Chain A
Amino acid sequence: MDIAVENFAQALVAGLLVGAVYGLMCVGLGLIFGVMRVVNFAQGDFMMLGMYFSLYTVGGLGVLTILGPEAAPVAGALLAGPVLFAGGWLLHRLLLGRVTGTRAGGSGQDAQLILTLGIALILENGGLIAFGSTPQVVHRPLSWAAWQLPLISDHLGTVFVNKARRVACLVSVLVGGALYWFISRVRLGKALRAAADNPEAATYMGIDVDRAHGIAFGVGTGVTAIAGGLVATYYPFQPYVGFDFVIIMYAGVVLGGMGSILGAFWGGMTIGLVQQLSTLVLPLQLQNAAIFVVFLLVVQLRPQGLFGRNVERA
């Protein structure tokens, strides 16, 4: 039995599974960046809210337990989407919309960046107040169960596939696909892209750019919250979990070419693979450091992203 091959296959599968969920997170952030050109530091905290939403609807309050232990966590995660959509939309309406879009005035991009940092601090510390600091996980029978897949033939080894991660991966791909359909086929989705491409011309088409921004921010928030709900089934979390993921998300979005939805998904996938494959050569504690190194390299060497279409985005 070849340990190296087995380890590699194991890391590859793990990378693909977490990569899909990262991809979904990145898609949410990528949509916000693509449409509004806002770097949103609070994205990780929206994810954290999605996690707690899922936790309380599935576990604590138990509303969803009637769906059974298998479906309830997925339903909880999916339900976090519309709820956080509303939250994101309101946040844009009340705060972000004042310094972005047509009302940006002279405040510039620094104001937006810093405002989202403030929102992030409020959300995660408010989360600490509301939820406490004990790490939580959304329990489900699948959480710690795994399938064993033989590798071609048994003597090459066996790959373990965590069932919770497999479900999360599947749902991520489905939700990501649905968002891609929305953005490329639905009139409103196309209007969001038009507003992203050229806000002034979009106004001349009769598209209300500020409203488009609100919708994009809401959808981006909701999608990331769904990803959060999915991660919550296998990753212990606490209110500060956001910053663990926000860099992963940015790395993915930058890799994918800032502003490209499909690219963001592949970028997130790449980050998942880098993270898991790095454990083959690096100590476990450094797997996130490996992400930052990849991120810095991409930002330095290819800021237009690995997957971005090279349409001019000055």
Chain B
Amino acid sequence: MSGDRRRIGLPLAAIGGIAAVWLALGMMVGDSYYQLMLTLVPIWAVVGLSWNLLSGYSGLVSFGHASFFGLGAYTVTLALVLFDITPWLGIPLGIVVGAVAGAIIGFPTFRLRGHYFALAMLAYPLALLYVFEWLGYQEVALPMKRAAPGWYMQFGNYRVYLGIAVAFLVLALLISLAVERSRFGMSLLAIKQNEPAAEAAGIDTLRWKIRAIVLSGALCAAAGGLYAVVLLVVTPDSVFGVLTSAQALIVALFGGVATLWGPLIGAAVLVPLSETLQAQLGNIIPGIQGVVYGVAIVLVILLAPEGIYWRVRDRLVRRASRLRPEAVPALPAAIPLPVQPQPANRGEEEAPFLVVEHLSKSFGGLRAVEDVSFAVTRGSILGIIGPNGAGKTTLFNLLNGFVAPDRGRVALDGRVLTGLKPNRVCRLGVGRTFQVVRPFARMSVLHNVMIGAYVAERSDREALAAAQAAIEEVGLAARADAIAGGLTTKELRLMELARALAGRPRLVLMDEPLAGLGAGEVETILGVVRAIAAAGVTIVVIEHTMQAMVRLADRLVVLDHGQVIAAGAPDAVTRDPRVIEAYLGPKWTALRA
């Protein structure tokens, strides 16, 4: 994923090459059994790609892809058996059924997280399995249509099936490529990395997840339909069974998650291996196929948890960077930013831009934020300080919509933000940075920042331009193509700032932008933050490093036990006895006297 994402020629050529090689193999192999095997590899690769589209990119592990596979298979079969509809129409019909099933399953199930999501997904195909058994479709064979075999997708020559399967695979790879290289895939990856942060970056996470499961369901159903056509018989166990769901996940995991090559590698290795074993030893050792899959999973999880593709790629990348140390450009000296002299009364006479009124939030009995009110003028920097547990982070969560307040309201430029979802708040111009930076370690700085740019920009091209501008603004231009995993803490902080800026926010909430930095590094960040404010962006910042804060902020608001105990210019606030008591303890003044 490194390098320019416009460079799409290489993967396209690779897809073409793979298709050609596979078709050539099919031509060379004469034995119909091996031709069947060669046909099954692309089918399972499509299933793996479909799983990967949802679970690989978004990180929501599905144990229920057999639902889509089985619905596709049964749609094609029953359409032919009951209504004499050709699979040429049955497969598209199955795709529609799969997509609809994706939406029906997705809407309720995406409310669940982690374990619950995985378990709920497991239940769908099993429930369907029993329903189809009960309907009396224990074993449905596709009737032979000797009159017009071609019209009914029945070919004497297996190579035709192989050709169709390869065509499906190419289509699935192209779809995956398009997803991976667009805001679709990037949004899903952002969800995988940190769903709240993705919401805060303006990504409507539910919408992208629904799109992913609809597309995934459609692809999987297509594979299921083709499977029925090729094998000519479907049973609930073979298409809705746990092994089918497992196989979807195994080929993807084995080959590599969140890349289109992973499922392909997984299917190309595992399907022939297990089919051959089954054919050679199946009579003597009946469960050998399942054992092979089981062992493959265990080994992959222990040895290469993200799959073979990433394991090999990481090793190659590491070797390349060892051989060519100059490949990593040296970090240029911090770019001096013009720090504009700030008039003492800056913004004082202006109307407030951000207005917070009587904001309150309790968790259980704990009053985390209580009746907090303040206002910030456009382009100024407000610092929020207070001892541990004072309610600062809760206040931020209230400001950007992660948490709904019990009382009070937040308004930006006259527009009320309270009650909106975080991605809406972001779209209205509120950016946020997080205390712990979680970059997409394998992506370049540019791509990391682009995710932030999708909020404001319609096209991917505009997002690229906005990302480049933001990177320029924070002085990280020389490192734009570097892989985020290799950045220093300071560079990560700058990248995080750029990501927030790329969405063209009017207000940025910064949560501890200086945590973990050395003295010199702090100066760089301070310079960048001041420059951002000078450009007219309003900033609210939480920071513990008070030496830096008193020089950065125009005004400070001090929280203690969820309440505002002082507000004003830094020098006044730090001499306020109530503030000193909150920080140093109520007895400080008395003890020193």
Contact = CB atoms under 8 A, between A and B. Distances in A.
Whether both chains belong to one complex is answered with yes
Interface of A: 37, 39, 95, 98-99, 107, 109-111, 113-115, 117-129, 132-133, 239, 243, 247, 250-251, 254, 258, 283, 285-286, 288-289, 292-293, 295-296, 299-300, 303
Interface string B273-306: 0000000000001111111011111100110010
Given A109-B115, A118-B295, A292-B123, 18 more contacts: A99-B301, A111-B305, A121-B243, A122-B291, A122-B298, A125-B288, A126-B291, A126-B294, A127-B287, A129-B287, A132-B286, A250-B119, A283-B134, A288-B130, A295-B123, A296-B108, A296-B124, A300-B111
Contacts of A124: 287, 290
Nearest to A39: B115
Nearest to B241: A243
A262 B33 CA distance: 54
A299 B253 contact: no
Interface residues of B, number: 43
Nearest to A38: B115
Interface in B81-129: 108-109, 111-112, 114-116, 118-120, 122-124, 126-127
Interface in B115-151: 115-116, 118-120, 122-124, 126-127, 130-131, 133-134
B508 interface: no
Given A113-B61, A114-B61, A129-B287, A122 B123 contact: no
A39 B298 contact: no
A120 to B, nearest CB: 7
Contacts of A114: 61, 249, 253, 297, 301
B249 to A, nearest CB: 7
B480 interface: no
B287 A239 contact: yes
A119 B144 CA distance: 40
The A contact surface, by secondary structure, is: helix
Contacts of B108: 296, 300
Contacts, number: 128
Contacts of B109: 300
B110 to A, nearest CB: 11
A118 B297 contact: yes
Contacts of B567: none
B301 A39 contact: no
Contacts of B305: 107, 111
A39 to B, nearest CB: 5
Contacts of A251: 123
5 contacts: A115-B298, A121-B297, A125-B287, A129-B288, A292-B126
Nearest to A112: B301
Contact of B59 (A110, A288, A289): A110
B270 to A, nearest CB: 12
B369 interface: no
B395 to A, nearest CB: 20
B242 interface: yes
Contacts of A299: 112, 116, 119-120, 123
B38 interface: no
Nearest to B60: A110
Contacts of B249: 114, 117
A117 B246 contact: yes
B131 A39 contact: no
Contacts of A133: 286
A299 B121 CA distance: 11
Contacts of B127: 289, 292-293, 296
Contacts of A247: 122-123, 126
Q: Chain B CB within 10 Å — which of A133, A258, A295 has the most?
A: A295
A143 B126 CA distance: 29
B130 A289 contact: yes
A115 B297 contact: yes
Nearest to A109: B114
Q: Chain A CB within 10 Å — which of B59, B286, B294 has the most?
A: B294
Interface string B293-332: 1111110011001000000000000000000000000000
B126 to A, nearest CB: 6
Contacts of A250: 119, 122
